[in-house]
Amino acid sequence: MLAVEGLTSAYGRIEVLHGVSLEVAEGEIIALVGANGAGKTTLLRAISGVQPISGGRVVFAGEAIEREPAHRRVAKGMAHVPEARQVFAPLSVHDNLRLGAYRRKDAGVAADLGRIYAMYPMLWERRRSAAGSLSGGEQQMLAIGRALMARPRLLLLDEPSMGLAPVLVDRIMETILALKAAGVTILLVEQNAVAALSIADRGYVIETGAIVHRGAGRDLLDDPKVRATYLGV
């Protein structure tokens, strides 16, 4: 579904992604883990088109899209849940969800809203509340729900566990597994490598802008080098 090939990206003159390649097959959960500042967010933003690249390719469903603006990538079936959730704080929960379907003109929007509310009853209860009044975990659910309103085939999730209590991290990981079961392909960026690799089919470890390990989620979790360096074990 997604192939990233030799991607480079820079802030000013400083290159922070040095030829990153990875692949995501349809139906997989892929975890991209690595330390603070390794380049995870930059890579995700480059894939969704909100971060300029200086070289390399992004192929989505067989089509090179690295020159497409972000909104066209959304229309092609890619949705990005940004780091720190970034919901529209003064708008209601309901309006945040409706904004996720901003580009859609099909008749299925109301039914999809119903599905999101059924999946997250807490969002239904709080549908008239300002999104900014929700707790961190609730805002994360809202940010995911908003992305799902675009009907993505591929969901890019940037550190959904950030700042959440362990019990909520577990809930988010369960949500991600449920999305996979519903047919969504997922690229999950996480500093919480144990949580992410535990649910991932495969994983990549990124270090200072380059992929340094790759493998099945379970194998990476069991790899002594990965454990020592990234999992603090």
**HSE on the CB side for 153, CA within 13 Å?**
11
Binders of ligand ATP among 1-20, rule CB under 6 A?
Answer: 11, 16
Joined together, the tokens standing for residue 15 give 């290159």
Size of the site for ligand ATP (CB under 6 A): 12
Q: Which is nearer to ligand ATP, 82 or 126 (CB)?
A: 82
Q: Does 202 bind ligand ATP (CB under 6 A)?
A: no
Of the residues 36, 105, 167, 183, which one makes contact with ligand ATP according to CB under 6 A: 36
Q: 43 to each of 5, 22, 58, 230, how far by Cα in Å?
A: 12, 11, 11, 19
DSSP 8-state assignment for residue 232? -
Of the residues 6, 37, 90, 136, which one makes contact with ligand ATP according to CB under 6 A: 37
> Which of 37, 34, 53 is closest to 45 using CA atoms?
53
Q: Does 34 bind ligand ATP (CB under 6 A)?
A: yes
Joined together, the tokens standing for residue 217 give 């989620």
Q: Smallest distance from the beta carbon of 39 to ligand ATP, in angstroms? A: 4
What is d(CA 67, CA 49) in angstroms, rounded to the nearest whole number? 8
The piece of 35-43, 66-74, 105-113, 180-188 that touches ligand ATP (CB under 6 A) is 35-43
Residue with tokens 């092609």: 76
Joined together, the tokens standing for residue 157 give 């999730």
Q: Does 40 bind ligand ATP (CB under 6 A)?
A: yes
Q: Does 52 bind ligand ATP (CB under 6 A)?
A: no
Of the residues 21, 41, 92, 129, which one makes contact with ligand ATP according to CB under 6 A: 41
How does 72-96 read in b/e, with b if 16+ C-beta sit within 10 Å? ebbeebbbbbbbebebeeeebbbeb
Tell me, residue by residue from 80 to 119, as one string, x for binding to ligand ATP by CB under 6 A and - for no binding: ---x------------------------------------
What is d(CA 233, CA 226) in angstroms, rounded to the nearest whole number? 9
Q: Which is nearer to ligand ATP, 149 or 197 (CB)?
A: 197
The piece of 36-44, 54-62, 143-151, 166-174 that touches ligand ATP (CB under 6 A) is 36-44
Binding site for ligand ATP (CB under 6 A): 11, 16, 34, 36-42, 83, 191
